[in-house]
Homo-oligomer: A and B are copies of this chain.
Amino acid sequence: MVQQSMTDSLIERPVFIVSDSTGITAETFSHAVLSQFEAIAFQSVRLPFIDSVEKADAAARRITQQADRGGPPPLVFSTLVDPEIADRIRAAPCVFLDLFGSFVHHLEGVLGVSASRSVGRSHTNGLSKQYNNRIEAINFSLAHDDGQYVQGLEQADVILVGVSRCGKTPTSLYLAMQYAVKAANYPLIPEDFDRGALPAALLPYRRKLFGLSIQPDRLSEVRNERRPNSTYASLKQCRQEVADAERLMRMENIPWLSTTTRSIEEISTKILDEVGLDRMSY
Protein backbone atom coordinates (compact mmCIF):
# COMPACT_ATOMS: atom_id res chain seq x y z
CA MET A 1 0.00 0.00 0.00
CA VAL A 2 1.73 3.22 1.09
CA GLN A 3 4.76 3.67 -1.11
CA GLN A 4 4.73 -0.02 -1.99
CA SER A 5 5.87 0.85 -5.47
CA MET A 6 9.14 2.40 -4.32
CA THR A 7 12.43 0.71 -5.02
CA ASP A 8 14.09 -1.93 -2.91
CA SER A 9 16.84 0.41 -1.74
CA LEU A 10 14.42 2.02 0.71
CA ILE A 11 14.28 1.04 4.35
CA GLU A 12 11.30 -1.27 4.90
CA ARG A 13 9.02 -1.05 7.88
CA PRO A 14 6.04 -3.27 8.69
CA VAL A 15 2.77 -1.54 9.58
CA PHE A 16 -0.41 -3.03 11.05
CA ILE A 17 -3.79 -1.30 10.88
CA VAL A 18 -5.90 -2.60 13.78
CA SER A 19 -9.57 -1.74 14.18
CA ASP A 20 -12.73 -3.10 15.77
CA SER A 21 -14.54 -2.24 12.55
CA THR A 22 -13.38 -1.89 8.92
CA GLY A 23 -10.08 -0.15 9.65
CA ILE A 24 -10.81 2.47 6.99
CA THR A 25 -10.34 5.39 9.40
CA ALA A 26 -7.02 4.03 10.66
CA GLU A 27 -5.91 3.23 7.11
CA THR A 28 -6.74 6.69 5.76
CA PHE A 29 -4.98 8.30 8.71
CA SER A 30 -1.89 6.10 8.54
CA HIS A 31 -1.62 6.68 4.80
CA ALA A 32 -1.68 10.45 5.34
CA VAL A 33 0.86 10.44 8.18
CA LEU A 34 3.26 7.93 6.61
CA SER A 35 3.27 9.76 3.27
CA GLN A 36 5.33 12.38 5.15
CA PHE A 37 8.22 9.89 5.41
CA GLU A 38 9.31 9.34 1.85
CA ALA A 39 12.56 7.54 2.64
CA ILE A 40 10.79 4.53 4.13
CA ALA A 41 8.81 1.81 2.34
CA PHE A 42 5.89 0.91 4.58
CA GLN A 43 4.31 -2.53 4.15
CA SER A 44 0.83 -2.43 5.61
CA VAL A 45 -1.44 -5.25 6.71
CA ARG A 46 -5.03 -4.59 7.75
CA LEU A 47 -6.45 -6.45 10.76
CA PRO A 48 -10.14 -5.42 10.77
CA PHE A 49 -13.04 -6.49 13.03
CA ILE A 50 -10.87 -7.02 16.14
CA ASP A 51 -13.84 -6.77 18.50
CA SER A 52 -13.04 -9.35 21.20
CA VAL A 53 -10.14 -10.18 23.51
CA GLU A 54 -9.69 -13.50 21.65
CA LYS A 55 -9.33 -11.76 18.30
CA ALA A 56 -6.99 -9.21 19.91
CA ASP A 57 -4.79 -12.03 21.19
CA ALA A 58 -4.67 -13.55 17.69
CA ALA A 59 -3.78 -10.14 16.22
CA ALA A 60 -1.07 -9.65 18.87
CA ARG A 61 0.42 -13.03 17.95
CA ARG A 62 0.56 -12.01 14.30
CA ILE A 63 2.32 -8.76 15.21
CA THR A 64 4.73 -10.66 17.46
CA GLN A 65 5.55 -13.12 14.65
CA GLN A 66 6.41 -10.17 12.41
CA ALA A 67 8.62 -8.65 15.15
CA ASP A 68 10.35 -12.01 15.69
CA ARG A 69 11.57 -11.95 12.08
CA GLY A 70 14.01 -9.26 13.15
CA GLY A 71 14.25 -5.70 11.90
CA PRO A 72 12.67 -2.71 13.61
CA PRO A 73 9.44 -3.26 15.55
CA PRO A 74 6.20 -2.94 13.56
CA LEU A 75 4.17 0.26 13.70
CA VAL A 76 0.58 -0.32 14.83
CA PHE A 77 -2.11 2.25 14.00
CA SER A 78 -5.07 1.46 16.22
CA THR A 79 -8.61 2.81 16.31
CA LEU A 80 -9.65 0.29 18.95
CA VAL A 81 -12.05 1.96 21.38
CA ASP A 82 -12.25 -0.75 24.06
CA PRO A 83 -9.26 -0.18 26.39
CA GLU A 84 -9.07 -3.87 27.36
CA ILE A 85 -8.80 -4.95 23.71
CA ALA A 86 -6.33 -2.15 22.94
CA ASP A 87 -4.11 -3.17 25.87
CA ARG A 88 -3.71 -6.69 24.43
CA ILE A 89 -2.26 -5.22 21.25
CA ARG A 90 -0.18 -2.61 23.07
CA ALA A 91 1.55 -5.44 24.97
CA ALA A 92 2.94 -6.88 21.71
CA PRO A 93 6.46 -5.82 20.61
CA CYS A 94 5.41 -2.82 18.52
CA VAL A 95 5.20 0.96 18.33
CA PHE A 96 1.55 1.39 19.34
CA LEU A 97 -0.11 4.52 17.94
CA ASP A 98 -3.42 4.99 19.74
CA LEU A 99 -5.48 7.17 17.39
CA PHE A 100 -8.62 7.23 19.49
CA GLY A 101 -7.30 7.04 23.03
CA SER A 102 -5.69 10.43 23.30
CA PHE A 103 -8.31 12.37 21.33
CA VAL A 104 -11.33 10.70 22.93
CA HIS A 105 -9.91 11.30 26.41
CA HIS A 106 -9.13 14.93 25.57
CA LEU A 107 -12.63 15.44 24.13
CA GLU A 108 -14.29 13.91 27.19
CA GLY A 109 -12.69 16.71 29.21
CA VAL A 110 -13.61 19.41 26.68
CA LEU A 111 -17.19 18.24 26.14
CA GLY A 112 -17.87 17.31 29.75
CA VAL A 113 -19.46 13.98 28.83
CA SER A 114 -18.17 10.43 28.69
CA ALA A 115 -17.57 8.71 25.36
CA SER A 116 -19.71 5.64 24.77
CA ARG A 117 -16.62 3.58 23.84
CA SER A 118 -18.85 1.35 21.75
CA VAL A 119 -17.15 -0.48 18.93
CA GLY A 120 -17.75 -0.15 15.21
CA ARG A 121 -19.53 3.19 15.37
CA SER A 122 -17.46 5.04 12.78
CA HIS A 123 -19.52 3.92 9.83
CA THR A 124 -23.13 4.66 9.27
CA ASN A 125 -25.30 1.64 9.82
CA GLY A 126 -26.49 -0.13 6.68
CA LEU A 127 -30.10 0.70 7.55
CA SER A 128 -29.71 4.38 8.51
CA LYS A 129 -31.27 7.24 6.56
CA GLN A 130 -27.85 8.74 5.83
CA TYR A 131 -26.63 5.45 4.44
CA ASN A 132 -29.72 5.04 2.29
CA ASN A 133 -29.10 8.52 0.87
CA ARG A 134 -25.66 7.41 -0.27
CA ILE A 135 -26.98 4.27 -1.96
CA GLU A 136 -29.76 6.29 -3.60
CA ALA A 137 -27.18 8.79 -4.87
CA ILE A 138 -25.05 5.96 -6.32
CA ASN A 139 -28.07 4.58 -8.17
CA PHE A 140 -28.93 8.07 -9.40
CA SER A 141 -25.40 8.71 -10.65
CA LEU A 142 -25.27 5.35 -12.44
CA ALA A 143 -28.64 5.95 -14.11
CA HIS A 144 -27.58 9.45 -15.16
CA ASP A 145 -24.08 8.57 -16.34
CA ASP A 146 -22.96 9.93 -19.71
CA GLY A 147 -26.31 11.56 -20.47
CA GLN A 148 -27.97 8.18 -20.93
CA TYR A 149 -31.09 9.16 -19.01
CA VAL A 150 -32.51 12.67 -19.08
CA GLN A 151 -35.61 12.08 -16.96
CA GLY A 152 -34.98 13.01 -13.34
CA LEU A 153 -32.18 15.52 -13.99
CA GLU A 154 -34.21 18.01 -11.96
CA GLN A 155 -33.29 15.92 -8.90
CA ALA A 156 -29.55 16.24 -9.57
CA ASP A 157 -27.46 18.20 -7.05
CA VAL A 158 -24.87 18.81 -9.75
CA ILE A 159 -24.48 17.89 -13.44
CA LEU A 160 -20.89 17.47 -14.63
CA VAL A 161 -20.21 18.37 -18.26
CA GLY A 162 -17.12 17.94 -20.42
CA VAL A 163 -15.63 16.08 -23.36
CA SER A 164 -15.59 12.29 -23.50
CA ARG A 165 -13.05 10.69 -21.06
CA CYS A 166 -12.21 13.83 -19.09
CA GLY A 167 -13.10 12.18 -15.75
CA LYS A 168 -16.83 12.80 -15.40
CA THR A 169 -17.90 9.23 -14.54
CA PRO A 170 -15.49 8.40 -11.69
CA THR A 171 -16.02 11.87 -10.20
CA SER A 172 -19.81 11.48 -10.29
CA LEU A 173 -19.57 8.10 -8.57
CA TYR A 174 -17.17 9.39 -5.92
CA LEU A 175 -19.44 12.35 -5.13
CA ALA A 176 -22.37 9.96 -4.74
CA MET A 177 -20.55 7.32 -2.73
CA GLN A 178 -18.65 9.59 -0.36
CA TYR A 179 -21.02 12.54 0.00
CA ALA A 180 -24.48 11.28 -1.03
CA VAL A 181 -24.45 13.93 -3.77
CA LYS A 182 -26.71 13.13 -6.72
CA ALA A 183 -24.18 13.81 -9.46
CA ALA A 184 -25.30 13.33 -13.06
CA ASN A 185 -22.93 13.74 -15.96
CA TYR A 186 -23.48 14.70 -19.57
CA PRO A 187 -20.97 14.73 -22.43
CA LEU A 188 -20.13 17.74 -24.58
CA ILE A 189 -19.63 16.48 -28.13
CA PRO A 190 -18.49 17.99 -31.46
CA GLU A 191 -22.15 18.50 -32.55
CA ASP A 192 -22.63 20.82 -29.55
CA PHE A 193 -19.52 22.79 -30.53
CA ASP A 194 -20.72 23.07 -34.14
CA ARG A 195 -24.01 24.51 -32.92
CA GLY A 196 -22.09 26.64 -30.41
CA ALA A 197 -24.64 25.80 -27.74
CA LEU A 198 -25.18 23.52 -24.77
CA PRO A 199 -27.18 20.30 -25.33
CA ALA A 200 -30.88 21.23 -25.23
CA ALA A 201 -31.58 18.73 -22.44
CA LEU A 202 -29.31 20.73 -20.11
CA LEU A 203 -30.80 24.17 -20.67
CA PRO A 204 -33.36 23.93 -17.84
CA TYR A 205 -30.58 23.02 -15.39
CA ARG A 206 -27.97 25.59 -16.27
CA ARG A 207 -27.36 26.51 -12.61
CA LYS A 208 -26.46 22.90 -11.78
CA LEU A 209 -23.74 22.56 -14.40
CA PHE A 210 -20.09 22.17 -13.45
CA GLY A 211 -17.44 21.65 -16.12
CA LEU A 212 -14.43 19.35 -16.19
CA SER A 213 -11.59 19.86 -18.62
CA ILE A 214 -8.25 18.17 -19.21
CA GLN A 215 -4.98 18.81 -21.03
CA PRO A 216 -5.24 17.58 -24.65
CA ASP A 217 -2.11 15.38 -24.48
CA ARG A 218 -3.40 13.60 -21.36
CA LEU A 219 -6.85 13.19 -22.96
CA SER A 220 -5.21 11.66 -26.03
CA GLU A 221 -3.37 9.15 -23.79
CA VAL A 222 -6.58 8.15 -22.01
CA ARG A 223 -8.57 7.82 -25.24
CA ASN A 224 -5.77 5.79 -26.86
CA GLU A 225 -6.10 3.19 -24.10
CA ARG A 226 -9.72 2.73 -25.09
CA ARG A 227 -9.52 3.15 -28.89
CA PRO A 228 -5.89 2.97 -30.00
CA ASN A 229 -4.89 5.01 -33.06
CA SER A 230 -8.42 6.29 -33.69
CA THR A 231 -9.28 9.79 -34.89
CA TYR A 232 -11.18 10.08 -31.59
CA ALA A 233 -7.90 9.58 -29.68
CA SER A 234 -5.70 11.71 -31.92
CA LEU A 235 -3.95 14.70 -30.38
CA LYS A 236 -5.44 16.94 -33.08
CA GLN A 237 -9.01 15.88 -32.27
CA CYS A 238 -8.39 16.17 -28.50
CA ARG A 239 -6.92 19.67 -28.88
CA GLN A 240 -9.91 20.79 -30.92
CA GLU A 241 -12.52 19.33 -28.56
CA VAL A 242 -10.87 20.69 -25.42
CA ALA A 243 -10.51 24.19 -26.92
CA ASP A 244 -14.13 24.11 -28.11
CA ALA A 245 -15.44 22.84 -24.77
CA GLU A 246 -13.53 25.45 -22.75
CA ARG A 247 -14.77 28.20 -25.08
CA LEU A 248 -18.37 27.00 -24.66
CA MET A 249 -18.06 26.80 -20.86
CA ARG A 250 -16.60 30.30 -20.67
CA MET A 251 -19.34 31.65 -22.95
CA GLU A 252 -22.05 30.00 -20.84
CA ASN A 253 -20.44 31.05 -17.54
CA ILE A 254 -20.12 27.49 -16.33
CA PRO A 255 -17.56 27.08 -13.51
CA TRP A 256 -14.97 24.47 -14.44
CA LEU A 257 -11.63 22.98 -13.45
CA SER A 258 -8.93 20.83 -14.97
CA THR A 259 -8.74 17.16 -13.97
CA THR A 260 -5.31 16.52 -15.50
CA THR A 261 -3.22 16.11 -12.34
CA ARG A 262 -6.00 15.85 -9.77
CA SER A 263 -7.42 12.77 -8.06
CA ILE A 264 -11.19 12.21 -7.87
CA GLU A 265 -10.94 13.13 -4.17
CA GLU A 266 -9.45 16.53 -5.03
CA ILE A 267 -11.82 17.18 -7.94
CA SER A 268 -14.84 16.26 -5.81
CA THR A 269 -13.80 18.43 -2.87
CA LYS A 270 -13.22 21.41 -5.17
CA ILE A 271 -16.65 20.94 -6.77
CA LEU A 272 -18.41 20.76 -3.39
CA ASP A 273 -16.51 23.83 -2.29
CA GLU A 274 -17.43 25.83 -5.40
CA VAL A 275 -21.09 24.86 -5.66
CA GLY A 276 -21.66 25.32 -1.92
CA LEU A 277 -22.50 21.69 -1.15
CA ASP A 278 -19.86 21.49 1.58
CA ARG A 279 -22.34 20.73 4.34
CA MET A 280 -23.80 17.70 2.63
CA SER A 281 -21.20 15.17 3.70
CA TYR A 282 -22.53 12.10 5.47
Contact = CB atoms under 8 A, between A and B. Distances in A.
Given A95-B110, A116-B37, A263 B123 contact: yes
A261 B135 contact: no
B174 A115 contact: no
B126 A21 contact: no
B29 A261 contact: no
Given A40-B111, A281-B27, A104 B142 contact: no
A262 B120 CA distance: 11
A111 B260 CA distance: 34
A142 B168 CA distance: 13
Interface of A: 1, 5, 13, 21-25, 27-29, 31-40, 44-46, 48-49, 75, 79, 81, 95, 97, 99-100, 102-104, 106-107, 110-111, 113, 115-118, 121-127, 129-131, 135, 138-139, 142, 145, 169-170, 173-174, 177-178, 218, 259-266, 268-270, 272-273, 278-279, 281-282
| Residue of A1, A40, A118, A268 with most partner-chain B CB within 10 A | A1
Nearest to A106: B97
Nearest to A120: B266
B1 A281 contact: yes
A60 B224 CA distance: 46
Given A36-B100, A37-B107, A49-B273, 15 more contacts: A25-B28, A25-B29, A33-B107, A36-B116, A36-B117, A46-B281, A97-B106, A123-B265, A126-B259, A126-B260, A126-B262, A126-B263, A126-B266, A139-B169, A142-B145
Q: Which among A27, A45, A127, A269 has the greatest number of chain B C-beta atoms within 10 A?
A: A269
B97 A45 contact: no
Contacts of A38: 116
B22 A266 contact: yes
Contacts of A110: 75, 95
Contact of A113 (B37, B129, B130): B37
B24 A265 contact: yes
A202 B217 CA distance: 39
Given A21-B266, A28-B24, A281-B27, A103 B97 contact: yes
A101 B104 CA distance: 16
A273 to B, nearest CB: 6
